[in-house]
Structure 1
């Protein structure tokens, strides 16, 4: 739901004509007798007694009439998608005009509408559209946007159609910064999005939103501690997550340093197989407790160890024997692990079966601290020196191959004339 989707909710005609239009839609499918009985109370309410205040100037009477209409909305109604959208847009136009957006009455009416729409047994495509229209018709900072989007989210999750909403992290960050909601409501909203992606099987995306959720909580709260531990276990469990540095930037994770999983997380940030094996020996029951599989974690720590080894040897040929020793694997298995680490996007290089070496062209560092900055600085200085040498060679070659200056045709003529004279 991008800014391009924002719509202005407006209506044409007098108030009386618009109410009549809404009532006529609500009477569809009824017999003539039922229609007349249904319409009569609205006609009476719209009629201004002699000497009474004109309806156009009587806001309270307009609100009462609108409330009468709203009370009769039991579902999406009997109409095409276009007609359903038009009916609800007209409802929104009156709702957002007759009541202050921040009033308790407005919230009550919005919540009632949301419940009616979500519980309607049919018309899912129309639900997305009419709820999106309501969301975009409400001012950006209004807290009413939150329940509207929550309803959209619930419908999408229940129908396994989360992709319909096109949720993006940039939109979610913008909304939570704009909406006038409490920190608790913000945290709950972020968690609901993380849960929605998890239920949809999009676990990596769910993990990213769970980090935002942890970040939104007071680091010392019980919820934050629980969420931090869950984020750590999720990061370790997911086979595609290799970057653990963002976790160490969360206050709630740092506050959980006494937890047994925190020390395991440190192994995956800086350690290797020896440290991992030592941890599993000292915590024999921990992996099962948090749904972690030893074989999967061993694979991940091997790939990370190879990436770290590659980072230390960028631009060099790394012998298979050194790789085998670091990963604690047999020499014939080295190429398999190199292919795996390249597929994971952690390293780029070229294998040489003849020399039994891996030439490293690129590798990922697990963290970027002083040692990594110093290594990067040394590498840049080496490249700078190499480029300076190349420039010197090019300049020398250009000077050597420069064309010799020869006399022009005019100069030859002058010299001949002088000699003759």
Structure 2
């Protein structure tokens, strides 16, 4: 969608142009008397009703014909009545151009969108038509740049929570159909935030929450589940959807052993819900390794401890460590010689009382280490000062000794000179 300054330039009076379009639609005789009686809206109503035929117009004439119709409708005080019908037509298949039709229709809808004032509520309907077209045609890339402006548009259109939720759902659907998993997920989260406290336990809210949870679980890049656990709608899954809530808790803060216990307790649930056990099992191993790395105090994580936590052979440890580093959950390096993983940085999956205790323990260790370092530095400084004092005393002693010898010779020489003078 181009800037709102876009204009459509068409020469001619309303009557002449309306008659021209009517002739093109083969309803000229019906429109002429309406125009002669200056019944513009009646003429427009008939033109708009017949405009479905424009979807069969030759490709070269399609855009010009629709732009003429839009130009005529825009001039009417009843524009908000006519435009939704035009948008509905454009959302349907363009029979004359199966290949380029979606692009042509999207171009006309964009023109309609841009010709309307920013605060015109019909813009919302036009945008929905654009979304429907994007979804059916797979042209999500053409929509992506405009999504940055959506929050501003929603304020201008004064859209209520329910309509916002529907709009976010449409965007999520269009993104999902286009393979844009992350975009789809983010707009589902936006939709979930539109439920008020009285709606968070509704069937719609639960279904949408489970949809978001499925995407997060199956994603190969999503490892932080705080964005879900913080939502009131997701929290409301417990107790009505307690199995889903239990699964979310496992991926939020627990480890592989807990996931395996879940599988045993709820046999078949993963497969029945369309989830992939192989994907979930792999993700759980990565999350478990991140947790183990975060809980180690020495920063040296032994291979055998990793193998036990991940339930893998020791020879596979390095492969899993490399994978967890690639996932961005942990930073560090492997020491094959010492058979340890040297942890440089790790991300806590959840930060609660246990994690605060770990931080406190670590701070105490650092405090003790710093105290020991301080004591070593203090001893070294004292020893250095003592050595410096010894060296200063030695220098002073040598200087004093040298001065004493020089003074004796000078006195002796002066006496001799005196004695020589006397003789």
TM-score with structure 2 setting the length: 0.73
Q: CA deviation at 1:272?
A: 0.6
- Tell me the distance in 2 between the aligned counterparts of 1:44 and 1:369: 77
Change (3 A) 1:315 1:151: farther
Structure 2 counterpart of 1:333, from 286, 298, 316: 316
Structure 2 counterpart of 1:145, from 114, 123, 126: 123
Q: Deviations over 1:175-233 (max 9, x none)?
A: 33432334322222211221222222223322222222222232122211222223223
Q: Match for residue 209 of structure 1?
A: 187
Q: Match for residue 401 of structure 2?
A: none
- Tell me the distance in 2 between the aligned counterparts of 1:155 and 1:62: 30
Q: CA deviation at 1:321?
A: 2.3
- Tell me the distance in 2 between the aligned counterparts of 1:64 and 1:169: 37
- Tell me the distance in 2 between the aligned counterparts of 1:382 and 1:90: 76
Query: Does residue 117 in structure 1 map to residue 90 in structure 2?
Result: yes
Structure 2 counterpart of 1:130, from 101, 108, 114: 108
Q: Match for residue 5 of structure 2?
A: 7
Q: In the alignment, is the contact (CA less than 8 A) between 1:75 and 1:117 conserved in 2?
A: no
TM-score with structure 1 setting the length: 0.73
Q: Match for residue 208 of structure 2?
A: 227
Change (3 A) 1:117 1:277: closer
Q: CA deviation at 1:171?
A: 3.2
Q: In the alignment, is the contact (CA less than 8 A) between 1:197 and 1:205 conserved in 2?
A: yes
Q: Match for residue 330 of structure 2?
A: 347
Change (3 A) 1:368 1:138: farther
Query: Does residue 20 in structure 1 map to residue 3 in structure 2?
Result: no
- Tell me the distance in 1 between the aligned counterparts of 2:128 and 2:297: 48
Q: CA deviation at 1:89?
A: 4.2
SS in 2 for 1:318: strand
Structure 2 counterpart of 1:279, from 232, 242, 262: 262
Q: Deviations over 1:86-128 (max 9, x none)?
A: 5544543443342266xxxx23x12221232233323332211
Q: In the alignment, is the contact (CA less than 8 A) between 2:218 and 2:280 conserved in 1?
A: yes
Q: Match for residue 400 of structure 2?
A: none
Where structure 2 has 5 or more consecutive residues not aligned to the other structure, the ranges are: 382-423
Which structure: greater helix fraction? 2
Q: In the alignment, is the contact (CA less than 8 A) between 1:318 and 1:359 conserved in 2?
A: yes
Q: Match for residue 291 of structure 2?
A: 308
- Tell me the distance in 2 between the aligned counterparts of 1:283 and 1:76: 53
Structure 2 counterpart of 1:241, from 214, 222, 231: 222
Q: Match for residue 51 of structure 1?
A: none
Q: In the alignment, is the contact (CA less than 8 A) between 1:318 and 1:357 conserved in 2?
A: yes
- Tell me the distance in 1 between the aligned counterparts of 2:286 and 2:147: 29
Query: Does residue 192 in structure 1 map to residue 192 in structure 2?
Result: no
- Tell me the distance in 1 between the aligned counterparts of 2:350 and 2:148: 25
Q: CA deviation at 1:10?
A: 5.8
- Tell me the distance in 1 between the aligned counterparts of 2:72 and 2:358: 65
Change (3 A) 1:213 1:112: same
Q: CA deviation at 1:364?
A: 2.3
Q: Match for residue 288 of structure 1?
A: 271
- Matched length: 361
SS in 2 for 1:185: helix
Change (3 A) 1:69 1:372: same
Cα-Cα RMSD:
3.6
